[in-house]
């Protein structure tokens, strides 16, 4: 079910990207430091900026992701230990307090 959803979602996105690239095929000049100039289509420049933003966002959140994965691993380890203790207590015979 999930792959079908992604395929259905990808078709309009790809269609939009192709039509955007066709409509915005004008060449723009990207000027950088020390007189460096690049001539490239507007759609390529916007796509590069989008990808750069995604990469920077991922790198910024990487520290938080790693910390949360460590906390999740610690919580799983503690849960396993608690389950082991409960199973050990359940296996002990009951003693009557008379």
Residue 96 lies in a domain: no
Specify the DSSP element, H or E, that contains 38.
Answer: strand 37-41
Q: Residues 48, 32: contact at Cβ < 8 Å?
A: no
pLDDT for 27 equals 92
Per-residue pLDDT tens over the stretch 18-73: 898 888 888 999 888 888 998 998 888 888 999 999 999 999 999 999 999 999 99
Residue 42 lies in a domain: yes
pLDDT for 81 equals 95
Q: How many domains does the chain have?
A: 1
Residue 28 lies in a domain: yes
Residue 94 lies in a domain: no
State the Cα–Cα distance between residues 30 and 44, nearest whole angstrom. Answer: 11
How many residues belong to the chain?
A: 98
For residue 37, the cross-strand partners are: 31
pLDDT for 97 equals 67
Residue 21 lies in a domain: yes
User: Does the pLDDT value for residue 7 go beyond 70?
Assistant: yes
Both tokens of 1, joined, read: 């079910």
Residue 98 lies in a domain: no
Residue 97 lies in a domain: no
Residue 41 lies in a domain: yes
Q: What is the span of the domain harbouring residue 21?
A: 2-89
Both tokens of 98, joined, read: 């008379």
State the Cα–Cα distance between residues 2 and 8, nearest whole angstrom. Answer: 10
Place of tokens 């999740």: 72
């Amino acid at each position: 079910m999930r792959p079908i959803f992604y395929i259905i979602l990808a078709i309009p996105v790809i269609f939009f990207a192709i039509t955007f690239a066709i409509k915005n095929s004008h060449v723009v000049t990207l000027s950088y430091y020390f007189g460096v100039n690049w001539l490239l289509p507007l759609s390529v420049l916007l796509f590069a900026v989008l990808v750069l933003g995604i990469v920077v966002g991922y790198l910024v959140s990487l520290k938080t992701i790693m910390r949360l994965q460590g906390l999740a691993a610690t919580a799983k380890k503690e849960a396993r230990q608690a389950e082991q203790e409960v199973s050990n207590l359940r296996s002990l015979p009951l003693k009557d307090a008379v």
